[in-house]
Chain A
Amino acid sequence: MIQTLFGSLDQPQEKGFFDRMKQAVTRTRDSLSERIDSVVAMTRGVDEAALEELEMSLIASDLGVHVSAEVTEQLRERARREQIRDGAELRELLKSSLKKILDDQEKPPKTVAAPPEVILMVGVNGTGKTTTTGKLAAYYRRQGKTVLLCAADTFRAAAIEQLEVWGERTGVEIIKTRQGGDPSAVLFDALEAAKARKIDVLIVDTAGRLHTKTGLMAELDKMRRTTQRLIPDAPHEVLLVLDATTGQNGLQQARLFTESAGVTGIVLTKLDGTAKGGIAIAIARELGVPVRFAGIGEKVDDLLPFDSGAFVEALLGEPAASRS
Chain B
Amino acid sequence: MFENLSEKLQRAFKNLRGQGTVTEENIQEALREIRVALLEADVNLNVAKELIEHIREKALGQEVMTSLSPTEQVIKIVRDELVALLGKDTARFQFASRPPTVILMAGLQGSGKTTTSGKLAAWLQKGGHRPMLVSVDVYRPAAREQLKVVANSIKAKLYEGDTKGEPAGTPLVERLAKEARREAVITGCDTLIVDTAGRLHVDSDLMDEMTRLKALLNPQEILFVADAMTGQDAVRSAEEFHKQLALTGTVLTKMDGDARGGAALSIRHVTGQPVKFIGTGEKPDAFEPFHPDRIVSRILGMGDIMSLIEKAESTLDKKKSEEFARKALSGDGFSLEDFRDQLRQIRKMGSLQSIMKMLPSVGPFSGMQQMADQVDEKQFNRVEAIINSMTPYERNHHEVISGSRRRRIANGSGTTVQEVNQLLRQYAQMRKMFKGIGKGNVLQRRAMGMMSGMRGSGR
Contact = CB atoms under 8 A, between A and B. Distances in A.
Contacts of A278: 231-232
B98 A126 contact: no
Interface stretch (B123-131, B140-148, B334-342, B402-410): B140-148
Measured as residues with beta carbon below 8 angstroms from the partner, the interface class of chain B is 35 or more
Interface string B249-273: 0000010111110110010011011
Contact of B139 (A22, A61, A298): A298
Contact of B108 (A158, A161, A273, A321): A273
A81 interface: no
Contacts of A10: 246
Contacts of A4: 218
A320 B256 contact: no
Contacts of A156: 146
B42 interface: yes
Interface of B: 36, 39-42, 44-47, 49-50, 85, 94, 96-98, 102, 108-112, 114, 139-143, 145-150, 153, 200-202, 204, 216-220, 227, 229-237, 239-240, 246, 248, 254, 256-260, 262-263, 266, 269-270, 272-273, 282, 353, 357, 373, 375-377
Contact of A157 (B153, B237, B259, B266): B153
Contact of A22 (B40, B147, B232, B270): B270
Contact of A126 (B94, B111, B204, B237): B111
A166 B254 CA distance: 26
A125 B231 contact: no
Contacts of B201: 273-274
Given A24-B49, A274-B233, A124 B40 contact: no
17 contacts: A3-B217, A4-B218, A14-B272, A18-B272, A29-B236, A126-B110, A155-B282, A158-B142, A210-B256, A245-B230, A246-B230, A247-B229, A248-B40, A272-B202, A274-B237, A275-B233, A275-B236
A247 B230 contact: yes
A91 interface: no
A10 B110 CA distance: 27
B110 A320 contact: no
A272 B102 CA distance: 31
Interface stretch (A197-205, A211-219, A283-291): A211-219
A277 B98 CA distance: 45
Interface of A: 1-4, 6, 9-11, 13-14, 17-22, 24-29, 56, 59-62, 64-65, 124-128, 155-159, 161-162, 164-166, 179, 210-215, 243-250, 252-253, 256, 270, 272-275, 278-279, 298, 320-323
Nearest to A156: B146
B142 A243 contact: no
Given A211-B258, A298-B109, 19 more contacts: A6-B96, A10-B246, A18-B272, A24-B269, A62-B231, A155-B282, A158-B143, A158-B146, A162-B145, A165-B141, A213-B256, A245-B231, A246-B231, A252-B258, A270-B108, A270-B109, A273-B108, A273-B237, A274-B233
Contacts of A13: 272
A244 B229 CA distance: 11
Contact of A65 (B36, B110, B114, B227): B36
B96 A3 contact: yes
A25 B259 contact: no
B34 to A, nearest CB: 12
Given A28-B232, A243-B227, A274-B237, A323 B40 contact: no
Given A248-B42, A274-B201, A157 B229 contact: no
A321 B239 CA distance: 12
Find the residue from B45, B46, B148, B229 having the highest chain A CB count within 10 A. Answer: B229
A229 to B, nearest CB: 22
A212 B260 CA distance: 13
A28 B110 contact: no
B220 A273 contact: no
A137 to B, nearest CB: 13
B88 to A, nearest CB: 13
Nearest to B197: A298
Contacts of B96: 3, 6
B141 A161 contact: yes
Contacts of A127: 110
Contacts of A166: 141
Contact of A124 (B41, B98, B145, B257): B257
Nearest to A155: B282
A127 B112 CA distance: 10
B256 A20 contact: no
Contact of B149 (A17, A179, A247, A256): A179
Given A62-B233, A274-B233, A214 B46 contact: no
Contacts of B262: 247
Nearest to B270: A25
A87 B254 CA distance: 41
Contacts of B148: 157-158
Contacts of A211: 257-258
Contact of B145 (A2, A21, A161, A245): A161
B141 A323 contact: no
B46 A25 contact: yes
A65 B96 CA distance: 45
B142 A161 contact: yes
A254 to B, nearest CB: 12
A126 B258 contact: no
Contact of B254 (A65, A210, A270, A298): A210
* 4 shortest interchain CB distances as A-B pairs: A247-B231, A126-B110, A165-B141, A157-B149
B233 A273 contact: yes
A55 to B, nearest CB: 10
B97 A272 contact: no
A13 to B, nearest CB: 6
Contact of A245 (B45, B108, B240): B108
Nearest to A129: B110
